[in-house]
């Protein structure tokens, strides 16, 4: 059977966001897509929006037809999913995993062909953000270019070393969640101090955050420069920045440490899973 489809196995938060964003951006036509996921019910809306998509009966049926295959299952499901499909992959099937917690060497034990590990981000849904990418030596240049072209249709792409994935993920794919948490905390304090409702304060923060990102982008300005422009010497912003600069480095260091520790634990447990195969 000629493999020419683009397959997606797993249609959860990230796999769903990635597939819908790529389709909306026109990265490839719906008629090229075959998708399978554990709870097929979740594909109903997708199929309604893109009737040309093929919903496969199971993972093997999706893998059998795919020249490019995205594995978007949860980290602990990568090994079982790969074990299920490995004998229908051929040496040219370009496998892509979105699971940072799965080491490339582990995947290569089960599937020895072209493999790319990517770290996408939910904000691809807004056509923004950076996807981190690391190809193995078997991915031919044309396939690298093709995958990167697709990802660039929904944001930026940075090719990095696998050893940079964890900290890189913190700066890109985890950061929308961290930023949401920071803004939430900031808005809560502002609401309490100013007599705003939580929703009013959140709205003020959201508009300001969006405008700040837009201004930085439009002016190609760096963070330090914007800080200097807003914080007039002796003014209230300067007083606030002084507190942040004193207290935040330690907090953020702990944020990275906690996250990297979790990454490491997950990596160890998936490594065990793959070695037991």
Contact residues: ligand NAP, CB under 6 A: 9-15, 36-39, 42, 59, 72-75, 77, 80-81, 98-101, 119-122, 173
Going from the C-alpha of 159 to that of each of 25, 127, 134, 184, the distances in angstroms are 21, 18, 6, 32
Quote the least distance from Cβ 36 to ligand NAP, whole Å: 6
Question: Nearer Cβ to ligand NAP, position 63 or 139?
Answer: 63
Q: Which residues are CB-neighbours of 73 under 8 A, at least 6 positions away?
A: 9, 10, 12, 15, 38, 81, 99
As to burial, measured by CB atoms within 10 angstroms (0-12 exposed, 13-18 middle, 19+ buried), residue 178 is middle
Question: Nearer Cβ to ligand NAP, position 79 or 191?
Answer: 79
Indicate the residue whose CB is closest to ligand NAP. Answer: 12
CB contact at 8 A, 239 and 232: no
Question: Nearer Cβ to ligand NAP, position 45 or 203?
Answer: 45
Quote the least distance from Cβ 267 to ligand NAP, whole Å: 11
Quote the least distance from Cβ 4 to ligand NAP, whole Å: 21
Structure token pair of residue 175 = 């950061």
Quote the least distance from Cβ 16 to ligand NAP, whole Å: 7
Quote the least distance from Cβ 265 to ligand NAP, whole Å: 13
Q: Which residues are CB-neighbours of 94 under 8 A, at least 6 positions away?
A: 67, 68, 69, 113, 114, 115, 116, 139, 143, 147
Q: Which of 115, 117, 156, 158 is nearest to 137 (CA)?
A: 115
Question: Nearer Cβ to ligand NAP, position 120 or 168?
Answer: 120
Question: Nearer Cβ to ligand NAP, position 77 or 273?
Answer: 77
């Amino acid at each position: 059977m000629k493999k020419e489809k683009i397959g997606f196995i797993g249609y959860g938060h990230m796999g769903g966001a990635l597939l819908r964003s790529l389709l909306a951006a026109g990265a490839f036509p719906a008629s090229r897509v075959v998708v399978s996921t554990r709870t097929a019910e979740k594909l109903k809306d997708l199929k309604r929006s893109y009737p040309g998509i093929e919903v496969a009966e199971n993972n093997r049926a999706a893998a059998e037809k795919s020249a490019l295959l995205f594995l978007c299952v949860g980290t602990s499901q990568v090994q079982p999913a790969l074990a299920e499909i490995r004998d229908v992959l051929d040496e040219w099937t370009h496998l892509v995993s979105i699971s940072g917690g799965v080491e490339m060497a582990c995947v290569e034990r089960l599937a020895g062909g072209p493999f790319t590990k990517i770290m996408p981000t939910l904000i691809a849904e807004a056509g923004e953000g950076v996807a981190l990418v690391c190809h193995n030596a078997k991915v031919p240049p044309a396939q690298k270019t093709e995958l990167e072209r697709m990802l660039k249709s929904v944001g930026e792409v940075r090719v990095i070393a696998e050893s940079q994935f964890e900290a890189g993920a913190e700066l890109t794919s985890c950061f929308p969640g961290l930023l949401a948490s920071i803004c939430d905390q900031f808005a809560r304090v502002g609401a309490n101090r100013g007599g705003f409702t939580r929703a009013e304060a959140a709205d003020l923060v959201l508009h300001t955050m969006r405008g700040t990102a837009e201004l930085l982008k439009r002016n190609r300005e760096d963070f330090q420069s914007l800080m200097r422009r807003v914080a007039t010497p002796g003014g209230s912003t300067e007083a606030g920045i002084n507190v942040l600069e004193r207290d935040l480095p330690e907090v953020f260091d702990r944020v990275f440490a906690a996250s990297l520790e979790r990454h490491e634990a997950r990596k160890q447990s998936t490594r065990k899973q793959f070695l037991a195969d």
